[in-house]
Amino acid sequence: MINVPIKTNICKKCNNCFQHEENIALFKQHQYHFHCFLCIDCKKQLSHESFYLDEKLQLDISNPQIYCEICYYKRCSSCIECNQTFTPTSIIIEFQGQEYHNECFICKKCRLSLKNKIFYSKNNFLYCQQCMNDIEPCIMTLKTYQTLNDQCKKCGKNFLIGETISMYQCEFYHPDCFRCGNCKKLIISQGFFRQEDGCLYCLNCHIDNGPHCMICKEPFLTGEILTQFDGKQFHNTCFLCYICQQPIEMKKFSYQNGNIICETCLKK
């Protein structure tokens, strides 16, 4: 809020001049009458209220997509686990198009956090490595599973009785079909990763082609917990407070002048 000593300044919303010494709202270096600076949904005046900008929409300065706190929460997507909406400072974990609160990203069976752990998805539920091994062993032979009707995910051919197969996230492969989608090397005995395109990649190809943290530029590992904020992805260990340099994790924080600041530092 500032005072305008002259009448030449014009409201970006209504294009009318301000009155002498009139209080105005300043947003994105543009000026608005108090009665023009409103929540896009409920039309509540926001000149003295907290408001939130929908970053997913293209900014129209003449009609900014801003919301009061209540309307913003109503528009927010909800956590797939607890069905509660996200707050503006929620740390959101996204996996296969589903969004979770950081504290809701847990194993379906043991209910322990999947943070910084390898995990698997089966029937739209998430499992830690230990619980997944209890449900489905990673490598098995068809001598014990003679009624298995699944075909190789890669070549589509049936398995022979007693043949050793590779299983990853409940999908079955011939060992010779379990190859990097880029360099075509066998990856049965080495680290591998599944990227967003659904293909499996060896470690070297994953580093070259996979998504990277916005801070350290290093790739993400399969099953690694990511922090998503403002449309960007970060390692949890890289998403730090600008002042104290401690991980934000589940703390509340504020975004000011391009910097992340935790609630503790804001109060100092």
Residue at a domain's end among 151, 178, 205: 178
Residue at a domain's end among 114, 148, 178: 178
Q: Would you say residue 141 has pLDDT above 60? A: no
Answer yes or no: is 47 within a domain.
Answer: yes
Q: How far apart are CA 74 and CA 90, in angstroms?
A: 14
Name the band, by pLDDT with cuts 50, 70 and 90, for residue 237: confident
Residue at a domain's end among 178, 209, 228: 178
Answer yes or no: is 247 within a domain.
Answer: no
Name the band, by pLDDT with cuts 50, 70 and 90, for residue 2: very low
Answer yes or no: is 83 within a domain.
Answer: no
Answer yes or no: is 251 within a domain.
Answer: no
Alpha-carbon Rg for the chain in angstroms: 25
Write the burial class of residue 30 (CB in 10 Å: 0-12 exposed, 13-18 middle, 19+ buried): middle
Q: How far apart are CA 174 and CA 167, in angstroms?
A: 9
* Paired tokens of 115: 């943070």
> Hey, how many other C-beta atoms are within 10 angstroms of the C-beta on 131?
19
Select from 178, 141, 260 the least CA-distant residue to 249. 260
Domain count along the chain: 2
Query: CA dist 92 to 26, 27, 118, 190, Å?
Result: 30, 27, 18, 31
Answer yes or no: is 236 within a domain.
Answer: no
Least confident span in 2-6, 10-14, 109-113, 120-124: 2-6
Name the band, by pLDDT with cuts 50, 70 and 90, for residue 228: confident
Domain that holds residue 156: 137-178
DSSP-assigned states of every residue in 123-145? TTEEEEHHHHHHHS-SEEETTS-
What are the helix (H) ranges across 88-202? 129-135
Q: E strand or H helix at 122, and its extent? A: strand 119-122
Q: What are phi and psi of 10, to 5 degrees?
A: -120, 140
Answer yes or no: is 60 within a domain.
Answer: yes
Answer yes or no: is 70 within a domain.
Answer: yes
Assess contact for 149 and 157: CB atoms under 8 A: no
For 174-198, the pLDDT digits (tens) are 888 888 888 888 875 555 677 667 7
What are the helix (H) ranges across 10-141? 69-75, 129-135
DSSP-assigned states of every residue in 198-241? S-EEEHHHHHHHS-B-TTT-PBPPTT--EEEETTEEEETTT-B-
193 or 145, higher pLDDT: 193
Q: What is the CATH number of the domain that holds 64?
A: 2.10.110.10
The predicted structure's pLDDT at residue 217: 80
Select from 7, 43, 47 the least CA-distant residue to 25. 47
Average pLDDT, the chain: 76
Stated pTM of the model:
0.34
Answer yes or no: is 35 within a domain.
Answer: yes
Name the band, by pLDDT with cuts 50, 70 and 90, for residue 5: very low
